[in-house]
Structure 1
C-alpha cells in the first residue's frame, strides 16, 4: 500500500515531487542496501515486572474520545467539541476473550485512547497486539492504524482534541515501529536514509544515517521503521519498547526497527526540555485492535542495535 501511494505521488502535482526533493535534501541520495538490524546486550530487569492489564478489568486505564466524526480531527473548527469523557465508553474499549484468552478490545470507530495512570520512566514494556476484522471511515480503505504512545504528558485531548502529547511507537500495517511526534512541541532525534518509494516524508530509519530532528508539521514529522517486521493481519505481534531517560528503542517481533534519542518538549521560551517519563496510551484510530500481555519492568540501560549491511 505504501509503495503504491508513493508511485501515485510521483505522478501527482508538484507538491508531491517537492516533498521528495525536500527529503533528498535532508537525507542525501537514496541508500539502496537494506540493513539487517539485530538487538544485542539486552538489559536485565532491575526490579519486579508489573502487569498493566490484569486480564479481567480496565482498572488503571481511563478512556478519552475525540470527535464524533473523526474526519474533522485535523481541521476541527472552534465550535467543535471532543466527546472526551462525557459518555460511557464501554462500546469503545472493553475486556473480551479472544483466542481463548482475555484481551483489551479497541473498537476503533471513534478516535481516542486508553490512558494508563502510571507515570513510567526507565522501563522495558512488552505487549502483544493483533488486528480485528473491522476498519472505519475515514480510514476504511487505508492501512490499519493504531499506536502505542509513550512519555505522554499534558492534558487528554490536547493534541487535535484526541490525544495527549507524546512520542509514538506507530502500529500501522506496513509501518509498525515508525517514530512519530504527537504534538507540536515534541522533539526527538534519530538517523535516517532517503527512500523515495515510501510515502511522505520519504525518510526511513537507518543506523548510521543522517541525523534529523523529528518535528510535527515539518518535512521530518515522522520516520519510517527500518523494516516491516509485522506478521500478517490476524496474527499476534509482540512489541518491545525500551526507554531510558530521553532515549528509546522500538522492537517488532524481536526485530529492532527504530531508535530515538534526545526526546524533549519545547518550553515557552524556546528551551529544549528533556522528556524522560510519562504515561502510555493505546490508541483508537480507525481499526479494530486487540491488546494483551501488557507488562512493564524497570531497566537501567538500553539494548544495543547492531547493523549489518
Structure 2
C-alpha cells in the first residue's frame, strides 16, 4: 500500500518546488545520500517447532475477506462519500483458489481494494510465501507499478484504515519496491535506519544499515521507507518472500536478499502511551493488481537473523 500524496503544508507549491522541498526535507531527516550496500543475511534461526501451512491448497478456510469502497479512487479521501462493501457481497469473484503453473494458489483479482486476513494470531515466527503478478491491473492504479502487500501484526477491526484494511505493519509488495516498510494506521509506529535517496518519490527515504534512525508515523514525512534495493524477479516469475518476526522486531527478505529491518513496533493509545506491537494476524492485500500467492508457511523461531554489509 504505497500512497502517492503530498504533505498538506506544501500542497500549494508548484510541482518542481514541492519536489525540491521534499528532497531537502529528506536530507534534513536522513542526511546526505549514503552509498549503496551489498547486504547479507546471517545467523538464520532454526525452527523452534513444527512448520504449519496457512493455505490448504483447496479452499480459503481460515482466511476472512473484506472489501473497501466500490470505487477505489475515493479510498484516501477524508470524506469518501460512500461506505465500504465489507462482506455485503459474494467475494468469490475477488478472492479464490485456482490452479496456476500446475499447483493451487490464492488468486486475488485486485479490482476492488481490500484484503484476506488469516484468523491465526501469530508471534515469533518465520513466514515464507511465494507470489507472482497476474496479467491485469485496474484503475486508479492501472498506469502505476503493480501494487499489493503482505501486512503483519494485524489488529483492530476490518476497515479501520481507510475503510479497507486493518492496522498493521506492511511488507510492501510493489513492482520495484517489494520489501518496503509501511506503517498502516495512524496509531502504528516503527523504527528503522535510513538514508536519503533523491531518486525516490517522496518521502525519499531508503533503508540503509548504519543510517539515521527514524520513527515511522503515518501521515508524516517518515510514513514509509523504501527497501534497500529491488530484488524482485521479472513480472511473470515467482518470488519468495521471507518475513522473520520476533517480538517488536522484523526482517524483510526478498528472493534471499535482505532488504529491510524494523524495530520498536508499537501502537500509540489515545492517552499517548506506547504499547509494544508483538503479535497479530496476516493480511494479503488487494490493491489494483491481479496477484497469485502460494506455499504460505509459518514456523516458530526464538531469534532473528542479522543483516550485515558484505565487505569488498
With the length of structure 1 as denominator, give the TM-score of the two structures.
0.95
Which residue of 16, 19, 26 corresponds with 2:22? Answer: 19
Which residue of 30, 37, 40 corresponds with 1:38? Answer: 40
The count of aligned residue pairs is 299
Who is 1:29 aligned against? Answer: 32
Which residue of 123, 147, 150 corresponds with 2:149? Answer: 147
| 2:110–2:289 CA contact under 8 A, matched in 1 | yes
| 2:148–2:174 CA contact under 8 A, matched in 1 | yes
Superposed displacement of residue 269, structure 1: 1.0
Counterpart CA distance in 2 for 1:280 and 1:51 is 13
Who is 2:272 aligned against? Answer: 270
Who is 1:8 aligned against? Answer: none
RMSD across aligned C-alpha pairs, in angstroms? 1.2
**Per-residue deviation, residues 129-154 of structure 1 (Å, max 9, x unmatched):** 00000000000000000000000000
**Per-residue deviation, residues 140-169 of structure 1 (Å, max 9, x unmatched):** 000000000000000010000000000000
Who is 1:7 aligned against? Answer: none
1:85 aligns with 2:107: no
1:200 aligns with 2:202: yes
Counterpart CA distance in 2 for 1:101 and 1:79 is 41
**Consecutive unaligned residues in structure 2, runs of 5 or more:** 3-13
Counterpart CA distance in 2 for 1:19 and 1:204 is 14
Matches of residues 168-183 of structure 1 in structure 2 within 5 Å? 168-183=170-185
1:260 aligns with 2:247: no
Which residue of 106, 111, 128 corresponds with 1:126? Answer: 128
Structure 1 consecutive aligned stretches of length 4 or more whose deviation exceeds 3 Å? none
Q: State the secondary structure of the residue aligned to 2:15.
A: coil
| 2:74–2:80 CA contact under 8 A, matched in 1 | no
**Per-residue deviation, residues 152-203 of structure 1 (Å, max 9, x unmatched):** 0000100000000000000000000000000000100000011101111100
Superposed displacement of residue 76, structure 1: 5.4
**Per-residue deviation, residues 1-20 of structure 1 (Å, max 9, x unmatched):** x9xxxxxxxx9332221111
| 2:124–2:247 CA contact under 8 A, matched in 1 | yes
Counterpart CA distance in 2 for 1:36 and 1:15 is 32
Q: State the secondary structure of the residue aligned to 1:13.
A: helix
Matches of residues 1-309 of structure 1 in structure 2 within 5 Å? 12-31=15-34, 33-75=35-77, 77=79, 79-308=81-310
Counterpart CA distance in 2 for 1:64 and 1:301 is 33
